[in-house]
Structure 1
């Protein structure tokens, strides 16, 4: 069954991904079961989209109930689910308004549009002159506008011409941010912790200084918390680790509870209030099914238990991974249940190590050549963390020994 499913994918599914040869058939909590009945500990959680575990009982109960009531009316009509969800999410963020969308990339695109409109209507930037400062090595999605300010050549090659209006500067360099801002700058767009770049955590003064610069220069600070937010790092938002509140939150992935695509732009009325009917929209954005699920996700976050689990279990994960430094691991970075692990390239590439781990029942994904990302669902247990890192240690030792012997 595994080979047949993979062959069908290879034949009929566009080759824009290179997945591991695991064919998932069901999942529960932190575990995925393949079509042959083999179980795997999920240490990727769909890039943080499954923060609360596969088929979380609270979330699936909400989904089942809403499926029996109402799923979609488009924004042509009101629904009884949208307002309560947006109120709860706005309050969670400490903001006034929510623009609901679907995918994370849509949230980023929407945030860019809102910032440009705010620049024109509020700041007084001449039409068509707005620019946005972004960080190098970012990952905000793969739409044309977003890859226009990416320096990932795989994401860019062959897709030009690109959208103008972006100024990339080194991540972690607040002075470079300040130098890139001029009278036409409307926003600084950043991931508080860069995910696809390898879970890169900035120095302590970086985000506070960016916040100060944005305030001083009348520029919006936009935090892309699509991967880092919603309890992944031990706080509701990663920005909280530095005491920073952005002007705009971009949210997604875990907001849909691992059930539906759901994203959002969250900001105060003075920012999101620049949008008027017809200027932006989405047929599925804010649909009743997604809004109901999002409301349950927000309620779960308000209890604080997932933030606490991420903090406590994250300390365990990082301690176990750091113990492997010098034994095939070069460096470990991250916060909460989110770790970027640099493997000694003499042992193998990140993809090779991911394949060996999958053979031993642990699912991770590589990035940046020799970096692995560990981001399990927040329902993982201490014993499961120990087992996963134990399998990792075994693979490192086995692979390193094999290379030495040859």
Structure 2
């Protein structure tokens, strides 16, 4: 069978550098850091005292007060970013066959805040299990797409993908495949995460994964810098609505870009450390290119995973050089985590939005906070340090890699009718 073409027709973003897609994009191209002291809990006894929190966000400004209380923040974020994307795409659900509209949503951890609060109540009590009846429905990851489907009456494929920091990208790949295989016409995809709490920060501190640059939070996320020493935690959500091309054209939809390929692989190396030579990263990019029927010469920009960790950044850069060869030196590369921090399971969603808008606007967001070159990195690579760069972007790739060795990569290109 001939595969359907799939395009992006709606975007929504709730991020540490902007609570809408437009604010997020402006923050990216202007090199804004979303990091600052944590305000959600007392960090006095924590090694890391900062993160990339949402700013000026109150769920009750967007959701019914009673409804909001029944939802973990990761679900609140999902609903808010999706509401923006639905409005952006102009979907009139009364004129669309909602039996062929699905929701595929990613999260790495889900209702972490709810779990922490319920366990705290239990262990600080007398041992009687006085558990909130909404505990389980607030915690489980698949509840996010469930709520989205119920809000809009969407009866198509509905489930969650869980692959740590690759979760949202896996959701997009699944959505892409269901549409091009003619199982659905529209799928709301994306991811959300809410882990800036005692359990989240404490847990990642225990792994020595987070930056502890408490004296200078705004420059703590330093991908590809010699003095990088850990990632900065972020929170929020991103929604990417994918649609079959002819369906989009028939309703006169605005088209941001075309999604043309998705790749997946495993490192098969270590629970947290990437393969030192980037074998899994190389394979996932190659798989995405093959799926897209593109060559390395066709890619102009890669939004890399680039977490600002000593091992991860080196592994990914080696994979790019190994796969792309001489074409690697014609690329722009950037890590938008330098600005947003690492949104874990939602990272792939907001980074896909950054990649889509880079293709649409021919602007590469920068990798900020670069101060010192590291000889571990090929000096001929263009990491787009500190300042956005204008260039024609025909096609761009977005990489996300997760604990457990999960790798996912998607490719977007300029839409040509």
Mark yes or no: TM-score above 0.5.
no
Query: Radius of gyration: which is bigger?
Result: 1
Taking structure 2 as the reference length, the TM-score comes to 0.26
